[in-house]
Amino acid sequence: MKNLESFPPSLRHLSEPSRALSSNDNGIGKPVEEEYLDPLPVIDFELLTNDKTKLEEACKHWGIFRLVNHGIPSTLLTQLHNQAQQLFSLSYHSKQASCNATPVRYFSGTPALTPSGTALKSGSEDINLLEGFNFPLTQLSQFQSQLPVLESFRVLMVEYGKHLSGIATTLFEGMVKNLELKLEPSGSYIAENTGYVRVYRYPPCSNTDAGLGMEVHTDSSVLSILNQQDQVTGLEILKHHQWLTVKPIANTLIINLGDIMQAISDDKYKSVAHKVKLNNHKERISICYFVFPEEDTKIESSKYRSFTYNEFRTQVQQDIKTIGHKVGLARFKRP
């Protein structure tokens, strides 16, 4: 494996010669054999207000879509990816040390993460085969890193965050309008101060028995915005009991609805199950933005008992600690 010392010790064994390949679909769905097919619906951000039907269909039937003409400069997306590569190429110990006592957190090989990027210990030996950094966007102006590459990335992330907040707000308002919901104030449901970005690196590994880069899950967010610029496959979504590969296409974004959006919509919109498989030959870097309601915002739904986001998050964290995995919306389902 290239630059082995930059990977956490828990991931370095993945450079060993591979054994026989297996399907490794975690028992959920059947893997699709077609290579590099991209089945996702495409939404043009510039035409969003004129094409409500497309957005409605994507949210109802997929819970995920590709966004084009989103307004983020391609130069910024390229710079983010290049800087992320440099950041991850640092030694494991440098990455750990660089995030002591700062809002930015480094993590690796963990079964789950809190919104602050802190590992939750479940008692399980299974881990997600990844490493990453957690950037709380509203706190980034409050510190400067002594590590030049991290400081450069922080500056880019501040600019990137401004774009993400605007995109998320516009998309959410479009969804709420399609659902004919009366949410006041809408800003408490998609609160800018809750937004954070996780930057992930997944090691290459041709041995599919080794495990998943990220386990099968749904996001707990209102929505998530994924930037995968490196043309390395790995992300898969569950659709009609089959796993579909989400093709990386430069200068596009992947919008993924989370559990809170599903609850707000009374299950009309779906929080799609997804996972990340390790690529056989190349490491994969992805940059994902998550946004949530204010902690005390009440989520009202005919399908679920009333809950605040804080109650939802607390329940998720408790389940991970006690039973080893997230249960999510099922905990709040009405009888």
Residues 6+ apart with CB under 8 A from 171: 48, 55, 67, 223, 255
- Sign of the dihedral defined by the CA atoms of residues 69, 70, 76, 78, in that order: negative
Contact 216, 30 (CB under 8 A): no
Measured distance CA(137)–CA(153) in Å, rounded: 12
The answer for residues whose C-beta is within 8 angstroms of residue 62's C-beta and 6 or more apart is 40, 41, 239, 270, 272
Pairing between β-strand 274-276 and β-strand 235-239 as defined by DSSP bridges: antiparallel
First to last CA, the chain: 51
Cβ-contact 285, 81 below 8 angstroms: yes
Q: Looking up tokens 């995920």, which residue turns up?
A: 64
284 noted as active-site residue: yes
| CB-based contact 232:205 (threshold 8 Å) | no
Strand positions, DSSP E, 70-176: 105-108, 131-136
Q: Which of 66, 154, 198, 284 is catalytic?
A: 284
Q: Give the residues across from 66 on adjacent strands.
A: 42, 254
Strand partners, 144: none
Residues forming the active site: 284
